[in-house]
Amino acid sequence: MNPLNPKKLLLTKWTAVKPIAKQKHFLVSRVIQPALPEDPIELVEIEAVLTKVTQVIAWSDLKNDAVWLQGWV
C-alpha cells in the first residue's frame, strides 16, 4: 500500500474488507484536528456512502489491508 499522509485523507474513498452494518463503501468526511496544532493528527471521521452514517476511527487503521482497501473496490 502507498504511504498515507493524514493531512491528505480528506474526501478519500475506502472499502471495508468486511462490511460494517451492511455498509462497504466509505468516504473520509473530516480530519479531526488535535487540540494543540503541533500534535499529530490521530482521528478521522468516515461516512458510509449509502446511509450517511458517520463514525470516528484512528487514521492509522486505514493502513491495515486486512480491514480497509483504498478506493471503492
pTM recorded for the entire structure: 0.88
CB atoms < 10 A from the CB of 22, how many? 8
Confidence at residue 4, expressed as pLDDT on a 0 to 100 scale:
82
Q: What confidence score (pLDDT) does residue 2 get? A: 61
Q: What is the pLDDT of residue 20?
A: 87
pLDDT single digits (tens) 10-55: 999 999 999 988 999 999 999 999 999 899 999 999 999 999 999 9
Q: Name the residue ranges covered by the structural domains of the chain.
A: 7-70
CA distances from 14 to 25, 32, 64 (A): 6, 17, 12
The pLDDT of residue 1 is 56
Residue type, 30: R
